[in-house]
Amino acid sequence: MSSAVKISQWLAQLRATDRATWLARSAIALAGVAALVLPGLQSWDQMDAVSVVGSVLLVGCVVLPDSLAALMFLLVICLGWLLRAPNELSWALVVTGIALLTVHLASAFAGQIPSYATVHRQALRKWLLPASIALLLGPVVAITAGLIRGAGVPGSLLVTVLALATATAAIWFASGQSIGESDS
């Protein structure tokens, strides 16, 4: 296959791209940029490798959302934060967490469908409730865990694990799944 045919095929697929695909990939791009830029604006010194590797992985997330690029992007940003950031809860940490969660959810949605597939509103609505719950519960659990950890309450790890398990169960059941349900 010649390069002209490949480019023509790629452009035809790009023209056939549905609005849901554009929305999901735009969410990946915008949230990914926020997750890359926000740690770089902090007073602590972020490693330059995080920005360089993260930028390359973010392009991979947008172009191929069903690849390992999204997982590697999340790991690079998290490890960059863990290696250099101060050990305190801040608004930048919460916003970066929300951005990473958005990258994760949008990549999961975009990775399920080909870029040229048509997605109906019902499929988007099915993702809206679990995504909204995850985006709202994520910061609440993080802030609560940070406050409990700072208070030195005995059993705070158990409280944090229970809060995360409850949030996971709420998202699971909001997605319309049940424990005995199978997709086969």
C-beta of residue 31 within 8 angstroms of C-beta of residue 99:
yes
For residue 62, pLDDT beyond 60: yes
For residue 152, pLDDT beyond 70: no
C-alpha distances out from residue 5 to 17, 62, 141, Å: 18, 23, 51
pLDDT at 53: 93
Angle at 10 between CA 8 and CA 11, to 5 degrees: 65
Burial of 156 (0-12, 13-18, 19+ CB in 10 A): middle
pLDDT at 117: 75
For residue 54, pLDDT beyond 90: yes
Q: What distance in Å separates the CA atoms of residue 101 and residue 164, rounded to the nearest whole number?
A: 14
Q: What distance in Å separates the CA atoms of residue 36 and residue 22, rounded to the nearest whole number?
A: 21
Q: What distance in Å separates the CA atoms of residue 172 and residue 130, rounded to the nearest whole number?
A: 7
pLDDT at 184: 47
121-137: per-residue pLDDT in tens? 777 777 777 778 777 87
pTM, whole model, 2 decimals? 0.73
